[in-house]
Amino acid sequence: MAIIALAVIVAGHVFGLGYIVGVMVVLSAAFGFGWPHYLGIPAKKTLGTVIALTGAGAAVTSGMTADANFLVWTPIFIAVGFGAVMVVQLIRGTGQSHRLESTLGAGAGVAIAGFAAGWVASYRFLGEPGMTLITAISAAVALAIGMLPWPDRVSAPLAIVLSALAGPLAALLFSDVRIFPAAVLGALVAAVIASFHRLRTLTGPVPNVPGGFAAAAAPLLSLGALVYFIDKLLLT
């Protein structure tokens, strides 16, 4: 499921800005409504709506802003979303004993949904798919390693090493990015994915389809901001 979502994101360089904005809105909405199910926190519909609106708003403004800082509105949406999460936690009537855990979990979901706008910003900043393909290939390698029935202490270092090798290979084939920066990008992408894989291992089996989708989409959405800021560091 995560690899399919990754392919859909990369296709944005073929179908244009409107497509990638629409894809990020849909993925953020699906992630938002699935994340509370994945974490098993109360007020699932309300918190899911907050998370979904945060991601959708950040993605739309990243596609529409005329400023060269394409993520200028994203921190505002994340801040408002986190504030809304706290309000929901204060007024809801169930699960008071787990209020702190619910707040932190939903707040993390708000941040992840907001970071997804980085994919839109990266598309607008680059205009060509080289860096996106480096990220996508490195992420696909890390996701494939994560599917192996091996313990995290083995699969995580292996994913980081192989993704660090896949990044330069993708750079040689699809862009003019130097080998070392591509290797660093590949390693960082793999580290993020391995971290989310460890979280999924600790939380156990996903409870339902929405929760499973949220678990699969979380590392990909969170990579958006990472990709954008690394692009700016390497290419400016």
Q: Could you list the mean pLDDT of each consecutive 10-residue stretch along the chain, which spans 236 residues?
A: 84 84 94 91 89 95 86 94 90 67 90 93 76 86 88 89 91 81 88 87 78 89 87 72
pLDDT in the model for residue 236 = 61
| pLDDT at residue 93, as a whole number | 58
The label of the residue with tokens 């998370």 reads 51
pTM score, two decimals?
Answer: 0.89
- Which contacts (CB < 8 Å, 24+ apart) does range 94-101 have? 94/42, 94/43, 95/41, 95/42, 95/43, 98/41, 98/42, 101/41
| Per-residue confidence (pLDDT) for residue 165, from 0 to 100 | 93
pLDDT at 109: 94
CA separation for the pair 124, 116 (Å, rounded): 14
Of 116, 95, 128, nearest to 31 by C-alpha is: 116
Domain boundaries, the chain: 2-235
Planar angle of CA 32, 102, 188, nearest 5 degrees = 60
The pLDDT of residue 112: 94
